[in-house]
Structure 1
Amino acid sequence: MSGLSEKERAGCRKLLSLLSRGDLLSLCDTVTNRLIAVENTEEATETILSFTQTAEALLRRKKVHRELIFKFLAKEGVTMPPNSEKHQLVKRTLELWSSGKAVTGGPDQNFEGGMDETKPSQSTEAASDSSVKAELGFEPLLLGQQFCQWFFQLLNSQNPLLGQQPESWGPQHFWPDVKLHLLSRTGTEQTEEFLGSELVSLRLLALTKEEHLLFSPNLDPRGLRALASPHGLVLVAIAGTIHRETACLGIFEEIFGLIRSPLENNSWKIKFINLKIKGQDALGGTEVAAPVLNYNSSELQLLCR
């Protein structure tokens, strides 16, 4: 009876997994008009999918509330304004499922040779020197997009408020001498610096696991830039918003330095991170829905030297 495509079924299944057990069973009763009894959440999910004619119909159910869809999109790496209305979130979710561009990245796909790096650049600010691209054998902007999708999905998965299984976070994603420079303006200005893969990994982990922050990167051309040096260093700069549950706390700008590791299947590992965080107080009421990256290519080029 279901009219859902395979992509829609997979997306709806992820969305339903965010519902509480009580809400899921209640939704199952509503969808089936209480004609089918289920014994567990897995049966409830499959029954709901079987009796759902369209993805839009499911998204518009009362039990599938606005905050739930917002959380789902954030987990998929889709940036939406925190004050988005439900119909806007529904439309964006349907577009996501229609395009099939849900984020499913991981270390194997993105950093160990499984990455499709032949697509054209979408940003005029990205590195465009054909000789550099030919020498390095990839498109820097595409690498930046895939890296940011992978990294923020991995980091956000550590947030216990999302209720999902944490992915494999740890020092293995960093070079042993990695450096983290963290500047935060949340009432007062504070600077922190960390050296070494263990300390850097733990400090970043604390942002999501202990402080319960959720990073929503702006992967549009105005929010992301990438630049490659002939010596193998790739710089990826990204802007985005920071949330705790459904509250938007501020914005962030982050620069990553990436270098391949020849001893680990040429996978990309993080050499340094510069992270700036601005709270709502420091923004003075500025719109933070999809922040624009302030770094330009000339400034990034200085970091390549």
Structure 2
Amino acid sequence: MSGLSHTERSGCAEILKTLTQSDLESLSSTVTNNMIAVENAPDEAINVILSYTNDPEELLKRKKVHRDSIFKYLAKEGVVIAPNSEKHQLVKRTLMFWSSGNSHGQRPALPEPQSPAQSLSVATRESTGAGSDSLAMGKQFCQWFFQLLNSQNPSLGQQPQAWGPQHFWPDVKLSLLSNTDMQSKAEEFQGAELVSLRLLALAKEEHLLLSPNVAPEGLQVQASPHGLLRVAVAGSIHRDGACLGVYEQVSGLIRTPLDNSWKIKFVNLKIRGQNALPGLPGGAPGLGWNQAKALQ
């Protein structure tokens, strides 16, 4: 009889689904001490593995449960973690996620408002002090924005959330700079429809997954007296489990005068491929290329 909770069993099953049939068969033999043989039946193998597993940590630490499978699971669940985290760190974060009671449909994920208004207003109520307000709002915006954008990526296999021009001001401007080892390309788009579509293409067509680093070294927020909120965040870019490079994004938010909601006024996105960063240090990406200019 499995000693796993319902949440642990469901989460382990999602991770096991990404393993090959040979890995599942090997894992099944291991957990049953070679007492049960399963062939060419992934669902049966997963059921056997879960039924004979009492400790989720022990299962996740097994060699056949690969690091990338755990990382993809956390990304799909909207759990932000440094992309170069070691397997034991991913295991620990997964166990924390399951014990929090926020997984598998119970996660208090940011809602899908017509604009960032709801998430930002929540952050304001939960913070104290002007500086703390701005930082909390910026963090909530990043979590809301990138979760929304990443949900459009078909490789995650999740239901896309309500992305569209409704999140932007009509005259919004996007500046996109891509720098790889082969070339540097600058693009500019203006208007809610065009900006929305170009950003959508990053996830939906190019299959990019943008993981923001909302830790202090990766996030800066500045609120102007006139009501403009600038949010600068650094992060890493992934595709199919591989880290392609890093990015910095500066977003400008302005509150609407009628319904007190927020919309995006501009987005400056700088992407750098890993090969274009020979001196890229380990750890989560941080602001540093030109953050002073970005926040002027």
Instruction: Specify the alignment match of 1:293 in structure 2.
Output: 287
User: So what's the TM-score if we normalise by structure 1?
Assistant: 0.76
Tell me, what secondary structure is at the counterpart of 1:212? coil
| Residues 118/300 of structure 1: CA separation in 2 closer, same or farther (3 Å cut) | farther
The answer to whether structure 1 residue 194 and structure 2 residue 193 are counterparts is: no
Instruction: Specify the alignment match of 2:278 in structure 1.
Output: 284
Aligned-partner Cα distance in 2 for 1:34–1:214: 39
Does the 8 Å contact 1:227/1:300 carry over to 2?
Answer: no
Which residues in structure 2 correspond to 1:77-116 (within 5 Å)?
77-82=79-84, 84-99=85-100, 104-108=109-113, 111-112=117-118, 115-116=122-123
Q: Deviations over 1:65-109 (max 9, x none)?
A: 221111122332423334x44333212322333456777223349
Q: How far off its partner does 1:293 sit? A: 0.8
Does the 8 Å contact 1:253/1:293 carry over to 2?
Answer: yes
Which residues in structure 2 correspond to 1:38-117 (within 5 Å)?
52-61=53-62, 64-75=65-76, 76-82=78-84, 84-99=85-100, 104-108=109-113, 111-112=117-118, 115-117=122-124
Aligned-partner Cα distance in 2 for 1:189–1:274: 15
AA aligned to 2:193 is E
Q: How far off its partner does 1:2 sit? A: 5.0
Aligned-partner Cα distance in 1 for 2:151–2:194: 19
Unaligned runs of 5+ in 2: none
User: So what's the TM-score if we normalise by structure 2?
Assistant: 0.78
Instruction: Specify the alignment match of 1:260 in structure 2.
Output: 255
Tell me, what secondary structure is at the counterpart of 1:53? coil
| Residues 85/272 of structure 1: CA separation in 2 closer, same or farther (3 Å cut) | same
The answer to whether structure 1 residue 205 and structure 2 residue 200 are counterparts is: yes
Aligned-partner Cα distance in 1 for 2:72–2:46: 18
Instruction: Specify the alignment match of 1:174 in structure 2.
Output: 168
Decide which of 224, 227, 235 is 2:219's aligned counterpart: 224
Aligned-partner Cα distance in 1 for 2:70–2:185: 34
Does the 8 Å contact 1:174/1:269 carry over to 2?
Answer: yes
Q: How far off its partner does 1:267 sit? A: 3.0
Q: CA RMSD in A?
A: 3.7
AA aligned to 2:68 is E
| Residues 253/55 of structure 1: CA separation in 2 closer, same or farther (3 Å cut) | same
Does the 8 Å contact 1:249/1:279 carry over to 2?
Answer: yes
Count residues with an aligned counterpart. 284
Instruction: Specify the alignment match of 2:148 in structure 1.
Output: 154
Q: Deviations over 1:24-60 (max 9, x none)?
A: 9869966787699xx996x998887676433313423
AA aligned to 1:173 is H
Q: How far off its partner does 1:157 sit? A: 1.7
| Residues 297/276 of structure 1: CA separation in 2 closer, same or farther (3 Å cut) | closer
Aligned-partner Cα distance in 2 for 1:270–1:10: 37
Tell me, what secondary structure is at the counterpart of 1:222? helix
Instruction: Specify the alignment match of 1:126 in structure 2.
Output: none
Q: How far off its partner does 1:262 sit? A: 4.4
Does the 8 Å contact 2:151/2:160 carry over to 1?
Answer: yes
Q: Deviations over 1:178-211 (max 9, x none)?
A: 1100111112211100001111111111111111
Identity among equivalent positions (%) equals: 56
Decide which of 232, 236, 239 is 2:234's aligned counterpart: 239
Aligned-partner Cα distance in 1 for 2:22–2:145: 31
Decide which of 209, 216, 220 is 1:214's aligned counterpart: 209
Tell me, what secondary structure is at the counterpart of 1:146? helix
| Residues 156/167 of structure 1: CA separation in 2 closer, same or farther (3 Å cut) | same
Deviates more, 1:201-210 or 1:291-300: 291-300
| Residues 157/21 of structure 1: CA separation in 2 closer, same or farther (3 Å cut) | farther
Aligned-partner Cα distance in 2 for 1:230–1:81: 36
Q: Deviations over 1:6-29 (max 9, x none)?
A: 66466446545x637968986996
